[in-house]
Structure 1
Amino acid sequence: METLRHIVLFVHLIGFAVLFGAWAAQAFGGKRQITKIMDYGLAIAGVAGLALAAPWGLPDGYELNYVKIGVKLVVLLIIGALLGIGSARQKRGAAVPPAVFWLIGILALLNAGLAVIWR
């Protein structure tokens, strides 16, 4: 069961890498647009994160930090809202506001930092 949990964690990290990688490619080499790949990365990270939050296959004496999980979920929802706002503006032909675009990357890094630093 621990092996399966590690596989889900790996998929979760891949989701973050896809989201942040697509954002970084746009930020430093693209047109600073929202792409479908960012949406896919967010979905992968979100689904795998929810699977990790389930109390299955945990070692004895290990408890989940529900406050941390809740904060990370709120950040994930905010990133999703910002991706939706940016995509909607792009479909209308307007540019993505710089604040919205940069917040997506900052919040993605924040979520990764919360996962690593908050124990």
Structure 2
Amino acid sequence: MSVLFNILLILHFLGLAAVIGAFLVQVRRKGGFQTFWPITGLIVQLVTGLGMMGIIDATHDGGANHAKLGVKLVIAAVALVLAFVARARQKRADSGAAKPKAALPFFHSAGALAIVNVLIAVLWS
């Protein structure tokens, strides 16, 4: 189980890098957001996070901190929804059906929530 957990943890960090990296690269843009990497990273983080939570529950006597992981799960799910909305708004903006900045608040909110999730992971003990 330790090897599986470590593989999931590595994939979880790669998902994190995809989300926050894409966010930081595009944070100064006003439009034209590329949402493939944030969406992919958030999906990877949700799947690997749930897998790691299952392994922790199965192998540790104390189990996982369900309150912390529940909060992180909700934040990641909201960030994923916001990233999908940003993608839809960006497509509408690209076609001229919406303002060029239509995706801006959704893209920035998804990136900010990903950073909040990192802070929760590190600071909530």
The question of whether the paired residues in 2 share the 8 Å contact of 1:55 and 1:64 is answered with no
- Residue 97 of structure 2 corresponds to residue 117 of structure 1: no
Percentage of matched positions with identical amino acids: 32
Deviation at 1:101, TM superposition (A): 2.4
Provide the C-alpha distance between the structure 2 equivalents of 1:18 and 1:97, rounded to a whole number of angstroms: 19
What is the rounded CA distance, in whole Å, between the counterparts of 1:87 and 1:44 in structure 2?
17
Q: Which runs of 5+ in 1 are unaligned?
A: none
- In the superposition, relative to structure 1, how do residues 41 and 30 fare at CA in structure 2: closer, same or farther (>3 Å)? farther
Once the two structures are superposed, the pairs formed by residues 62-81 of structure 1 within 5 Å of their partners are: 62-81=62-81
Unaligned stretches of 5+ residues in structure 2: none
**Secondary structure at the residue paired with 2:26?**
helix
Shift of 1:62: 3.2
Q: Is the 8 A contact 2:12 2:45 kept in 1?
A: yes
Deviation of 1:58 after TM superposition, in Å, equals 2.5
Of stretches 21-30 and 46-55 in structure 1, the one that deviates more from structure 2 is: 21-30
Aligned residues: 118
Match 1:100 to one of 102, 106, 110: 106
Partner of 1:58: 59
In structure 1, what is the equivalent of residue 90 of structure 2?
Answer: 90
Q: State the Cα distance separating 1:103 from its structure 2 match.
A: 1.4
